[in-house]
Amino acid sequence: MSEFTCAVVGMTFLGGSYMTEAFRSGIEAVGRTQLESGLSIGLSKVQLARYVILPQALAISIPSLGANAIFLLKETSIVGAIALMDLMNVAKDLIGMHYKTAESLLLLVLAYLILVLPLSLLLSWVERKVRHAEFGN
């Protein structure tokens, strides 16, 4: 197994646990009356999940999912532990080799800013769009 695959598997399980909690909180926030209403009009379990629970649960859990996605992006710095040359590892290498701490850290900050800022803007846009799907709005 390559180090990239190892990193993907590790990050997936790390992120998956947080995403599960985010989704679970969203699903549990859907009112019981909604489920009962769905059952009363004869929806099956799958239809209930697809048309009643998931749209509302997604709208509720989008903010925490976005926060988790940004957290996961920043958490990629941990893959340096398995010798994958990510941003943090490159910066540490350059500091170790050339003793140019300020330059290396400046580039590191700029690189993370370039990565995180568009993602953050995209997620806030998605959040605004999905909010219209919440029940009662």
Partner 1 sequence: MRMNLDWEFIMESLPLYGDAMWLTVKLALIAIALSLVLGLVFSLVLFIRLKGLEALFCLTSNCREIRRCWCSCSSSITVCRRWAFT
8 A C-beta contact, residue 63 and residue 73:
no
Angle between helices 101-130 and 87-98 (to 10 degrees): 170
8 A C-beta contact, residue 61 and residue 22:
yes
From the CB of 79, what's the least distance to partner 1, in Å?
Answer: 7
Told to check if 122 binds partner 1 by CB under 8 A, we report no
Nearer to partner 1 by Cβ, of 22 and 59: the residue is 22
Whose CA is closest to 123, among 65, 71, 56? Answer: 65
8 A C-beta contact, residue 97 and residue 59:
no
Residue of the chain from 43, 63, 89, 130 that contacts partner 1 (CB under 8 A): 89
Q: How far apart are CA 107 and CA 102, in angstroms?
A: 9
From the CB of 131, what's the least distance to partner 1, in Å?
Answer: 19
Told to check if 129 binds partner 1 by CB under 8 A, we report no
Residue of the chain from 29, 39, 122, 133 that contacts partner 1 (CB under 8 A): 39
Give residues in contact with partner 1 (CB under 8 A): 4, 7-8, 11-24, 26-28, 32, 35-36, 39, 45, 48-49, 65, 68-69, 72-73, 76, 79, 84-87, 89-91, 94, 98, 100, 102-104, 106-108, 111, 114-115
